Chain A
């Protein structure tokens, strides 16, 4: 009993002392904006939509990011071009709701949606925090350079016919009974 009281007591005093000693340590604070901090590439900041290596919009409007988003701040609508390629007709992120969790990026099967190291997202007008596809879409591949979903998927799209995707045999001739 006594030793318990003693230990509790000394433990508090030791804690106080240790915290007090921090007074003489180097401060961790970076004095932004006077000093620009180094942002890691995988920092979860402002979200962008990227393009595939062929320069086409990567997003296929699968809605997975939207459903993964815990605050439901992504809304989009699928559309299809004349060659059967899916793309978002509109793609909206309400950054005033976004918590930068990165779930959308985790969920995206095409590497289209990516979080970037840009964290300077303050706006004077809250409405300006609602970004549409025009604002989100960048002209590059972002962090992932090589992946092109439509080269892997089986759907025919402009520039890639049936049987031309990775690991695909040419379309079968259903009138033939040859093996």
Chain B
């Protein structure tokens, strides 16, 4: 067995590690939220409450997995599977470290964007098939939100692609050896950050779920492991966005040599995970219409301007 892109060891360990991390995030998030809200968070199951994850898993596995009789069975079951699948697929192109990864694709960025688009189906199908007014509202919101933010997410990355001249994520990381793209592409970074949160519909942009308004939105009718899949899917999404930010803007595995590259990658990604959790702890949810207006009237022009300026600078630099 060797650490080499696409090896079986790679595939198995990445899958395991990613899923375990996502599961651990259940605990991490609750502890961090607690800390930032002057509480303690779960601290009673096992040391530091670490076994909370196990307890939660046990609970979610043993809970009654109820399919409402009025739901459309097929799509109701399909929906949570889609989110898990597409997010895990996205991980296949993430360059964790030299030699650590599943595919070295030269359309990596496009692949990630494509998978993100497919993710929207999960939420939409889940809500529509539930035959429940809250779920329906949730999925309508989700569809609009995800479709809109995909646009700026894509455009915000074009600057990097233009700078690197490649869609290959590994090449993008390597191209940052001289300096992280976050500096030239600060605007792109901010847009990508916001769009990423919206895409993974996490607080403050959890408008499709919005407990206080529409119960639990698209997953109102879900219970047991099907709900669990949505739940873990969301955390996977969180890890994915953090990893992408790391790779695209913060030099991926690159870092001073006293630590192995994979560590640098993990450190940077963890920072963003924590940042996203901090956002959840601090920022209130905007209204649905505010979110849409913000996207189309502010982020879209901004990302286009960013692309224009980047293009102009590249053109000027190449002396054309």
The reply, when asked whether chain A contacts chain B directly with Cβ atoms under 8 A, is yes
Instruction: Return chain A residues, CB-CB under 8 Å to B37.
Output: 19, 22
Over the window 1-36 of chain A, the binary record of Cβ atoms lying under 8 Å from chain B Cβ atoms (1 yes, 0 no) is: 000010000001001101110110111110100000
CB contacts (< 8 Å) of B40 on chain A: these are 27, 29, 31
B282 pairs with A19, CB closer than 8 A? yes
Q: Mark A104-117, 1 if CB is under 8 A from B, else 0.
A: 00000000000000
Mask of A138-160 contacts with B, CB within 8 angstroms, 1/0:
00000000000000000000000
Residue of A nearest to B284 (CB): A15
The interface size of chain B toward A, counting residues with CB under 8 Å, comes to: 13
Structural contact, B39 and A16, CB atoms closer than 8 A: no
A16: nearest chain-B partner, CB-CB: B282
Q: How large is the interface on A (under 10, 10 to 19, 20 to 34, 35 or more residues)?
A: 10 to 19
Contact B283 A23, beta carbon cutoff 8 Å = no
| Min CB–CB distance A165 → chain B (angstroms) | 52
List the A side residues contacting B8 at CB < 8 Å.
none
Asked if B64 lies at the interface with its beta carbon under 8 angstroms from chain A, I say no
Chain A binding surface, main DSSP class: helix
Is B36 a contact of A22 with CB atoms below 8 Å?
yes
B39 surroundings in chain A (CB, below 8 A): 27-29
Q: Which A residues touch B14, using CB under 8 A?
A: none
* Residue on A nearest B41 in the bound complex, by CB: A29
Q: How far is the CA of A31 from the CA of B44 in the complex (A)?
A: 10
Residues of B within 8 A of A5 (CB): 298
The contact string, 1 if C-beta is below 8 Å from chain A, for chain B 21-60, is 0000000000000111111100000000000000000000
Q: Collect the chain B residues with CB atoms within 8 Å of residue A31's CB.
A: 40
- Residue B279 is within 8 A (CB to CB) of chain A in the complex: yes
Knowing A19-B278, A20-B278 touch, does A12 contact B38 (C-beta < 8 A)?
Answer: no
Contact A15 B38 (CB under 8 A): no
B215: interface (CB < 8 Å): no
CA distance A66 to B2 in the complex (A): 74
Do residues B38 and A19 form an inter-chain contact, with CB atoms below 8 A?
no
Tell me the nearest residue of chain A to B39, going by C-beta: A29
Contacting pair B38 A28 (CB below 8 A): yes
Cβ-defined contact, B38 with A25, below 8 A: yes
Decide: B38 and A16 in contact? CB cutoff 8 A. Answer: no
Q: When chains A and B are docked, how far (Å) is the Cα of A5 from the Cα of B294?
A: 11
**B279-318 at interface with A (beta carbon < 8 Å):** 279, 281-283, 298
Give Cα distance in the complex from A25 to B35, angstroms. 9
Residues on the A chain within 8 Å of B36, using CB: 19-20, 22-23
Contact (Cβ within 8 A) B282 A15: yes
Q: A26 to chain B: which residues have CB within 8 Å? A: 38
Assembly CA distance A94 to B278 (angstroms): 41
Query: What does the 1/0 interface line of B7-28 toward A look like (CB < 8 Å)?
Result: 0000000000000000000000
Interface residues of A in 25-67 (CB under 8 A from B): 25-29, 31
Residues of A within 8 A of B34 (CB): 29
> How far does the Cβ of B282 sit from chain A's closest Cβ, in whole Å?
4
- Looking across the interface, which residue of chain A has its beta carbon closest to that of B280? A19
Cβ contact within 8 Å between B38 and A18: no
A-B contact pairs, 21 of them (CB 8 A): A12-B283, A16-B278, A16-B279, A16-B282, A16-B283, A18-B282, A19-B36, A19-B37, A19-B281, A19-B282, A20-B36, A20-B282, A22-B35, A23-B35, A23-B36, A25-B38, A27-B39, A28-B38, A28-B39, A29-B34, A31-B40
A-B complex: 4 closest residue pairs judged by Cβ atoms: A19-B282, A29-B40, A15-B282, A28-B38
Which residues of A pack against B, CB within 8 Å? 5, 12, 15-16, 18-20, 22-23, 25-29, 31
